[in-house]
Amino acid sequence: MICSRNLEWGPCSRPLTPPLNLALSAGTVTAVLGANGSGKSSLLKVLAGLIRPLAGELKIAAAQLGATAYLQQHQALDRQYPINLQHLVDAGQWRSRLSRTERRERLHAVLVRWQLIGLESRPLSALSGGELQRALLARIDLQDPRLLLLDEPESAMDESGQQLFWNQVKRWQNEGRTVLVVCHNHIAVCRHVEQALWISAECCQFGSPAQLLAGRISTLQAA
């Protein structure tokens, strides 16, 4: 799904990490780990095609429009914007060619799945951070993307919201979608994700989250 060779990225010709060689197959869930400012969000933006890499090759098998869904780190939405939750979520069917009835049914199913029933007519200003985040994830769900790039998706969510999120990630994986998720909750990552990418200015490492985090702790102790 994603194949990169000597990929470098960062602001103004100053790469944040050593060149990255990465090969992720379809239907995998990968956590992107690293300290603040190490370049996790920028990497997701490069993969989403929002910013250009500085150097290297990048091949993504979901390059056509609508096949990649990207969730921003901080909800940059204007909360005063005159739109309600249902219309926000329904925009996920932007490129859908289904009939009106089918679209309504899909929308309803997604609202049920993300526990948003009863909030449909709420304006954005009346939603909590977690509710808005669930709505944005529901919109991505409706988009039916093959590659999902999620930047700290569960940071605004409570316990049950996080549980719901990780369950849906599992479902996405079972449906053969590829998921990359930036996450600072290492306990959740170790529990729900099988592979991870550690990013820092010194190195880019790939492996199981538990291994990477254990290695990280030992280097911290050695220092």
Give the shortest CB-45-to-another protein separation in angstroms. Answer: 9
Residue type, 96: S
Closer CB to another protein, residue 38 or residue 72? 72
**DSSP helix/strand/coil, 219:** helix
Distance CA 52, CA 111 (A): 35
Q: How far is the CB of 190 from another protein (least distance, A)?
A: 30
- Taking the C-alpha atoms of residue 105 and residue 91, their distance in angstroms, rounded to an integer, is 14
H, E, C per residue of 63-107: CCCCCEEEECCCCCCCCCCCCEHHHHHHHHHCCCCCCHHHHHHHH
Angle CA 208–185–115, to nearest 5: 110
Residue 209 C-beta: closest distance to another protein, Å = 28
Closest distance between another protein and the C-beta of residue 165, in Å?
A: 19
Select 141 or 166, whichever has its Cβ closest to another protein. Answer: 141
Expressed in percent and rounded to 5, the helix, strand and coil fractions of the chain are: 40, 20, 40
Helix crossing, 129-143 with 159-174: angle to 10°? 10
What are the angstrom distances between the C-alpha of 166 and each of 7, 81, 87, 222?
A: 29, 29, 25, 33
Task: Kindly compute the dihedral angle of the four CA atoms of residues 48, 198, 146, 120, in this order, to the nearest 10 degrees.
Answer: -80
Which is closer to another protein, CB of 36 or CB of 80? 80
CB of 111 to another protein, least distance (A): 18
| Contact footprint for another protein (CB under 8 A) | 48, 50, 65-66, 68-70, 72, 76-78, 80-84, 88, 91, 94-95, 123, 125, 139, 143
Minimum distance from residue 99 beta carbon to another protein (Å): 18
Please check whether residue 107 is in contact with residue 120, taking contact to mean a CB–CB distance below 8 angstroms.
Answer: no
For another protein, the closer CB: 81 or 194: 81
Specify the residue, 131 or 166, whose C-beta has the smaller distance to another protein: 131
Q: Which is nearer to another protein, 72 or 168 (CB)?
A: 72
